Structure 1
Amino acid sequence: MSPKGAKRTRFPPDARSTARKRGRKITSCSECHSRKQKCNREMPCSRCIQRGVPNLCQWPGDEKSPQVRPQERGSTTVVFEADSQVTEIGQIYFARGAPSFFGNSYFGHQVAARMIHESAPDLPGMSLLSTKNSLQSFRNDSGPFSQVWDLLGLLPRNKMTVDRLIERFLSDINWAIDAVHPETFRSQFAEFWGRKFGFDEIASVDLRWLALLFIILAFSVLLDGPETPSPEKAKENEEASLRFYWASRRAIVISPSFHGESLDLVRAGLMVTRYLLHTRQVAESWLTVSFAMRMAQAQGMHIDGEKWGLSKKATEIRRRLWGNLYMLDKAIALALGRPYAISDHMCVIHAPENVWLDDMSDEQSSLAPSKPLTSPTRSTVTLLGNGLAKISGEIQDRCFGLYPASYDMVTEMDKKLLEWKSQLPPYFALDDSDISFDEIHTFLPWHRLYLHSAFHFARITLHRPYLLRESISNSFRLSHEACTSSASSDLKVRLRSLNYRIAENMRWTLGTHNMFNSALILGIIAVRRPKAPQTAAIIHDLQVYCEILRTDASLNAFGLAEVKVVELCIDRAKGFTKATDQHANDSNVDSINIMPNMASQCNNSGNGMNDVMSMDDLPSNALEASPNHPPGYSPDLIWPAIWEDQNFAFPQAADLETWEQMISEITYHD
């Protein structure tokens, strides 16, 4: 039986027989014929209606076979091709809410039309209705909409469950990292959940927004668990979160084939990158932030909104989104020693203004003035962070490029970092921050932590190649003190953050906090100088840090790897101290002094690379064993050349074998 209201047309015998004059007489439509089923010879026939594919019902060889254009549920309208209007393919693209960067010449809308109608991309004037044979149902496994159907199947069936997860994210995380506009996202979800079921409704699902929904659910599942979950519950939440995370990644990859780019797609890519930072997968985050950046560039976000003639509100939204991508791109590239995706000389965009316009109308926002830095807004962190990110990019270009950099260049970049630090407003100051605004603006403590961790990360990375270098003139003292100071300050913040609840811990780990581990730097310093006055305090803090992490039920494999590396450093430093103390008692030697006999062999030609001893500078008897050296002493005066290589990236904590080798070969100094 056909649905109520369905309109069917029976064709005269002569209209069906004009195409074939000889051979067997055709008595079935193409769909019924392929399935060897009896057809009632109507258009659409009852069999195609029952199968839910009335649009595929056609008469083989009929020169004037009608087409079905679905309209309302339960009814169809028959339209002959001679009566159809020619429609530009680009209209599909524009109708889906994704403005084209290069106007009609951009091929994104043609790709969308090809995926839906399988029309040639080089025929922009082709009639959409002339491609009737290529329409496929979402129930067809080989069709593009089967991908949408599979993704929708991953969502919880209960709307109340999804509502609860969304609200948990919006109330606990969203306001700290500027992920989405709450009211807009809620209205988009209500529209999505209220859609009707059917081919038209599946085709209208925006995968770009669906990718954003999935990654928000990935965070929310982790937030929704108990404060102290059992190991089984923690594992269950992690697996559920990973399912949503991979669903988001899948939607991001396939959505450009259905639609053009959109701000939702960029936001989804940004949130996926933050998810990887939260789980300490920094290497993979380099790929996701690059993809998100390409999606932003495809929409012209590297050109300031004022040049596009956009409203002030739209311009500021694009500036902030681009600024967040810019900061992560520079920081992740610097952490991994890989090229960044954004070239400053290819961009014409301004930093965000110190004003928050998201809750205003276009007319109100056009009249809203920017505030001075003395009055914080949610845009301030992006405004200031962009300045730091630009310095980070310059550090990578000038100090970690293809050509070796002099130490003078390092000191010059350090001055730029300190200058940026000195210009911070009091409520963001690294030393003795003014917290009087914190009760009014609840986002300030978290934005302060984001900026502080980003500063410490950039400064440690700049000076890290010189951490283990020694010179007679103490030329690298700046690098030693900078690494110790920034790593100690960052570890203090880590120790405080480990006592937070789930939501607070997640807010903290979404910044540059997890791009490097200050505990590893302090562990290396302790191994390098186990008898230094501050080493005992460093080892104590590192032990407390490891103990707290060991009791964290939500600690993943990457976090556990960091704990093991830090514990290696602690054991080696404590072992050396014990060995030297025992040796001193036996031979009345107070301490080890490995420098005097070899100092005269150094080429003391000033600061920089020439101040570093090489193996060729050692005397011939330097490698011989000495009864005054403790067990495990290495005769090398410097860290192996790989550490001093400016292109050497900090190894991942999961590479335990490399860390064991590095730690075992660090030379001891007083």
Structure 2
Amino acid sequence: MNASLTAPLPLNSIFDNPVVTEFEDSMGLALLDPSHINSLLEFYFAHSHTLYPFIRKSEFEAVLWRVYGDPLDPLAQSPLWQFRIWMVLAIGSTTYCSVSLMDETEPLQLFNKAMTYFEPAMGCGDLAGLEVLMLQVSYSFFNKIGPNTWFLVGVAARMATGMGLHTSDVYQTLAVDVAEEQKRLFFSLYMMDRVVSLALGRPFAIQDDDITVEPFADADDANIQPDGIVAASTLEASTMAVPLHILALRRIASDIGSQVHSSNYSQRQSPEAREETIQKLHRRLIEWRRSMPFPLPDLQSKVPHLCTSWFDLNYYTHVIMLYRPSPLSPTLDAARMKILAEASGMAIRQATNLHRQRRFAYNWLNLVAIFNSALSLMYTSTAHSENLPLALDHSRAIDDLELAVELLDVFSGKFPSAKKIQGMIRTVSAKLKMYNIPSMGF
């Protein structure tokens, strides 16, 4: 990486994609069926926009249909708007394919179309360039097309902090609606950074101590005016309620990463302080789960994070992150081992619930989550020490590992590494079946 960046390079050489360079641009927006466009938009704004709400829905849809109806419209000549339109359609398509397990041909075609506008869109200003990179990050969560996700997040974070989007001072002179738009952009990037960095075990690109700006408002776009935010006229939760709740989870995860899995932090803590750190973070996770927005926007949707099982899954995966061996707690006693075992099994079961509801997204981030859950469950089922009981009933762990194998069987159609993880789990499960002692529960 360092060698390749020693001399200035054009952007298209850094973010080159061999599929894009061979792409023949034969697609046109008017060739797409309006009902299909609507279905892709619906899934994008229900799925990706709920996680990362940095596109203004009403403005985006208005421009898209203007360009659709009149290819000579001035906005149709804007590379930024063309990139936005095609990338949002690509993300909507690839997220739907990840849940429905449909062929990825369409999202790839839409992505390639968007990338024909990438370089001129990057030249439309710093905020535009930041949005362009974040749309690429959002797409890359669901496939291996394009640049490395963590690298993209790092570049975007450099741009955002260079513009001062992490500081409150930048927003003081802005109109309220503009400030809220930029806050959504920054905190969406923050959430992307936490998701990617924690999944890959890499350093954060944005540090919590550097952030002085408050999160975006819990308000719908229609209520955000240039001179202030109008109070909602109904008792229904705003469209930002779920994104803000997810942001709260990312901030808890950030503290787990910096306080539990950081050697520098743990070395300064007494045993009592270490225990209090873990208990405090666990209490925050419990409160996060209890305070889930109600009612959720659409219980009939196939979007994973619009049903309670998704919130349960994330609660348990973060408990795993909190209690697995770490610099703060390198060895586990029987009580913590039990918490880790229960959380691991429950995470696998909640993922299975989503799978059976046909609401589970088969992307590489969820593959990492299943791998970590299975790994923690195998660890708690096979670890022995003087502080742990030797006679354990492994029946429940065996059942949960079998569920993990079932999930990985679906993942293997998209990710070959899932087969290797399956083999490892089956080996451990077979050993547990041989030595299982049906006695006291764990």
Bigger fraction of residues in helix = 2
Deviations 1:490-548 (A, max 9, x none): 212210111234xx334x869x6454222332234334479864522222232234235
Q: Say which of 262, 280, 283 aligns to 2:127.
A: 262
**Which region of structure 1 is more displaced relative to structure 2, 528-537 or 294-303?**
528-537
Q: Say which of 99, 108, 111 aligns to 1:242.
A: 108
Go from structure 1 to structure 2 and tell me whether the alpha carbon gap of 1:394 and 1:250 turns closer, same or farther (over 3 Å shift): farther
Go from structure 1 to structure 2 and tell me whether the alpha carbon gap of 1:496 and 1:449 turns closer, same or farther (over 3 Å shift): closer
**Offset, 1:155:** 5.7
> Contact 1:273/1:289 (CA < 8 Å) preserved in 2?
yes
Structure 1 letter corresponding to 2:257: Q
Q: Say which of 157, 172, 179 aligns to 1:293.
A: 157
Structure 1 letter corresponding to 2:420: K
**Offset, 1:214:** 3.2
Go from structure 1 to structure 2 and tell me whether the alpha carbon gap of 1:276 and 1:323 turns closer, same or farther (over 3 Å shift): same
> Contact 1:280/1:514 (CA < 8 Å) preserved in 2?
no
Q: Please name the residue that 2:61 is paired with.
A: 186
Q: Say which of 281, 287, 301 aligns to 1:417.
A: 281
* 1:547 partnered with 2:406: yes
**Aligned-partner Cα distance in 1 for 2:291–2:97:** 33
Q: Say which of 381, 392, 410 aligns to 1:526.
A: 381
Structure 2 letter corresponding to 1:157: G
Q: Any residues of structure 2 matched to 1:21-170 within 5 Å, and which?
A: 154=25, 156-157=27-28, 159-161=30-32, 163-170=34-41
Q: Please name the residue that 2:237 is paired with.
A: 376
Could you say what the CA RMSD is over the residues aligned between the two structures, in angstroms? 4.6
> Contact 1:526/1:569 (CA < 8 Å) preserved in 2?
no
TM-score after normalising by structure 1: 0.51
Structure 1 letter corresponding to 2:354: S
Q: Please name the residue that 2:318 is paired with.
A: 458
Structure 2 letter corresponding to 1:317: E
Go from structure 1 to structure 2 and tell me whether the alpha carbon gap of 1:528 and 1:163 turns closer, same or farther (over 3 Å shift): farther
TM-score after normalising by structure 2: 0.73
Instruction: Give the secondary structure class of the aligned counterpart of 1:314.
Output: helix
Q: Say which of 346, 350, 374 aligns to 2:214.
A: 350
Q: Any residues of structure 2 matched to 1:213-612 within 5 Å, and which?
A: 213-222=85-94, 234=102, 237-245=103-111, 248=114, 251-252=117-118, 255-256=121-122, 258-262=123-127, 265-279=129-143, 284-304=148-168, 307-356=171-220, 358-360=221-223, 362=225, 366-368=229-231, 376-401=237-262, 403=264, 405-406=266-267, 410-424=274-288, 426=290, 428=292, 446=306, 451-465=311-325, 476-501=333-358, 504-506=359-361, 513-517=366-370, 518-528=373-383, 533-547=392-406, 549-550=408-409, 552=410, 555-558=412-415, 560-575=416-431, 577-578=433-434, 580=435
Deviations 1:193-247 (A, max 9, x none): 53449xxx89x84333333333323234447779987xxxx5xx32442344355
Gaps of 5+ in 1: 1-114, 116-148, 429-433, 582-589, 592-669
> Contact 2:23/2:112 (CA < 8 Å) preserved in 1?
no
> Contact 1:166/1:217 (CA < 8 Å) preserved in 2?
yes
**Aligned-partner Cα distance in 2 for 1:405–1:323:** 27
Deviations 1:35-57 (A, max 9, x none): xxxxxxxxxxxxxxxxxxxxxxx
**Aligned-partner Cα distance in 1 for 2:205–2:169:** 20
**Aligned-partner Cα distance in 2 for 1:451–1:283:** 30
**Aligned-partner Cα distance in 1 for 2:333–2:194:** 26
State the identity %: 16
Q: Please name the residue that 2:14 is paired with.
A: none
Instruction: Give the secondary structure class of the aligned counterpart of 2:107.
Output: helix
